[in-house]
Every structure is written in structure tokens, then in C-alpha cells.
Amino acid sequence: MFDGRFRTEAEQRLRPVGANLRRVGVTADQLTALGVVMAVGAAVAIGNGALRAGLLLLALTALPDVLDGAVAKASGTASPRGAFFDSVSDRATDALLLGGVAWYLSTTQPGRVAVLPLAVLAASMLISYERAKAESLGFDAKGGLMERAERLIALGGALLFDSLMVPILWVMLVLTVVTAGQRFAKVWSQAGPDRPVVARSPHRLRTRALRPTRAKVRRGDRASRTAERRAAWQRRMRERRSR
């Protein structure tokens, strides 16, 4: 929800900041890499139980993620390579942060509670894949109850109120799975029903891609007639030489 409604507006308001950063030599890729470095620090802090430090580093991780797009648009350097780097970095950041939470829970909670953040990570990777695959096919899969911005906010709340960490993770898991279902239904409706193959005869199914076009048939007939005339001319020439 936040990605669709507020991200574009935030990037527009931060465009002057992005222009100033670009003016001093900071690039969008450098900001993206800085966000990954911050995520590594946040994961280490969370895994070691320093939840408040992890919360601070989490906020610092989100800042470059917003500014890199503003810098790219302000400098006119937005490119497919930068978008690919940003997307991969977001997935790596999610894995680092939730991996740090899993490490922390494995040392503080009994049983299999540490698997819970890994389940959230798996569901979040699913909705990211749905969007990427849908866009590669020409569809739109944005939206949902628990996009990346909401997950980061919920994770920040879990770090701030550590006694509620496990319930918050359960809510994140449920809403992330719901988001995956929402995106699947959205793309499914955009794609429309599959077109059945029409049977031309009871023993044979033909598709348009397999049927030769009229132009191909004409070219084939013309080539065969040319080959026949050439063979007849060669026979006549051999007969003359034999006389």
C-alpha cells in the first residue's frame, strides 16, 4: 500500500535532495550499496540481541533505499541496470534482516519459533517474484496489504517492542501470504481465460502456428515448378548432345 501510494510522492519531494547528492558526486548505485552495508550491520546487531541498535540501522537502511531513486531521476541516470541492482539489493536486504531475527530467536525462544521469520522471508520472496514475472509478461502486480514498506515498518515495531516480536511476525506472515494471493488474483484476471485449441477434424488438431500461410504455399509451388523446368531443360540438352 505504501509503495503504491506514497513512494512516488516521497521521491518527488526528495528530488532536490537527490540533485544535491548527485552534485557532490554521490550516485544511485553507491546509495544502494550503502543500504546493503547498513542491512549487514542491522542483521549482526539483531542477531546479537542489540535490538535498539538494529532498529536504528534498520531506519538507516531504508533511507538510501528511498534516496537512490531520487538521485537516479534527478540526474537522469535511471537505467535497467540500476533498477536490476536495486531490486536484487532489496531482496538481499530482506534476507539479511529476517535472517538476523531468526538468529536472535534461535537463542532466546524455545522450539521452532526461529523458523517463523524464515517463513516470512519465503512469502516475501514469493510476492516479489510474482511482481517481477508479471511485469516481464506485460501485466501489473503492484499492491497488496503487506508490501516491502509495510514489512519494514512491522519489523521496526517488532524490534522496538521485543515482547511482541513473535505475534508481530505471525501477523506479517499471514498478511504477506494474503498479499501473494492478491497479486496472483490480480494477474490472473488481467491475463484472461486461456484460448482453447479448435479441432478441425476428429483425428487431427491444427493450430494457426502450424498451418502454412498462403504466401509460403505459393513460394513452394513456384520453386517446385522452376525445378521441374530446369530438370526438363537439362534432359533436352543431354539428348541433343547424344545425337
Residue 192 has pLDDT above 60, yes or no: yes
Q: Which residue numbers are catalytic?
A: 90
Residue 146 has pLDDT above 50, yes or no: yes
Closest CA to 33 of 111, 86, 105, 79: 86
Per-residue confidence band for 210, with pLDDT thresholds at 50, 70 and 90: very low
pTM over cut 0.85: no
> What pLDDT, in 10s, does the model give residues 34-49?
999 999 999 999 999 9
Structural domains of the chain ordered from first start: 2-191 (1.20.120.1760)
pLDDT in the model for residue 25:
78
Query: Could you tell me which residues come within 8 angstroms of residue 206 by beta carbon, excluding any fewer than 6 positions away?
Result: 200
pLDDT in the model for residue 51:
94
> What pLDDT, in 10s, does the model give residues 1-37?
656 556 666 667 767 776 777 777 778 888 889 999 9
Residue 67 has a CB neighbour count (10 Å cut-off) of 23
Q: Checking phi first, is residue 49 left (phi over 0); if not, alpha (psi -120 to 50) or beta?
A: left
Closest CA to 103 of 47, 51, 56, 184: 47
Residue 206 has pLDDT above 50, yes or no: no
Residue 222 has pLDDT above 80, yes or no: no
pLDDT in the model for residue 104:
95
Q: Which residue is it, cell 540533485?
A: 19
